[in-house]
Amino acid sequence: MPASPGVALASVAISGYQRYISPYKGFRCAHRALHGELTCSEAVKGLIQAHGVVAAWPHVRERFAQCRAASLELRSLAMADASDGEGAAESDNKKKGKKDSDWGDCDCGDADCLPGDCDPF
């Protein structure tokens, strides 16, 4: 069964974001940086393709909330490292070959943000 026009349009838009915007924004997905799983854009694209735009919406909101929590955790770890010198998280990142610039971030600074308010994927 072919994808609905809404699913096809959302998939094309996300693919365009992944190719033309994401590589140049200066940070990466906090959820992926912390958990090593799919980026938010990959996860959201899969959710939309599997469930449709409307049915996927609650799952998309949950993913954005998880990314926001990951961003806050990464910032907390970075602040702890800065105050302690080389803390456990920094040492752990060095073991994994990660640099501080590999840590993720979300654009949204408001804990109550909605997907339309920021660009968290």
In a domain, 92, yes or no: no
In a domain, 50, yes or no: yes
Please compute the mean of the pLDDT values over residues 113-121 and round it to a whole number: 42
**Does the pLDDT of residue 89 top 90, yes or no?**
no
Q: Which residues pair with 105 in a beta bridge?
A: 29
Please write the tens of the pLDDT for every residue from 12-44. 999 999 999 999 988 889 999 999 999 999 999
**Does the pLDDT of residue 103 top 70, yes or no?**
no
How many Cα atoms sit within 13 Å of 118 on the Cβ side? 19
In a domain, 49, yes or no: yes
31 lies in which domain range?
5-70+102-117
How many domains does the chain fold into?
1
In a domain, 23, yes or no: yes
Greater pLDDT, 29 or 112: 29
Greater pLDDT, 87 or 13: 13
Whose structure tokens read 């105050």?
83
- Work out the angle at residue 32's Cα, subtended by the Cα atoms of residues 28 and 35, and round it to the nearest 5 degrees: 145
Span between the terminal Cα atoms of the chain, in Å: 28
In a domain, 85, yes or no: no
Please write the tens of the pLDDT for every residue from 51-81. 999 999 999 999 999 999 999 999 999 998 8
- Work out the angle at residue 109's Cα, subtended by the Cα atoms of residues 38 and 61, and round it to the nearest 5 degrees: 45
Residues 6+ apart with CB under 8 A from 85: none
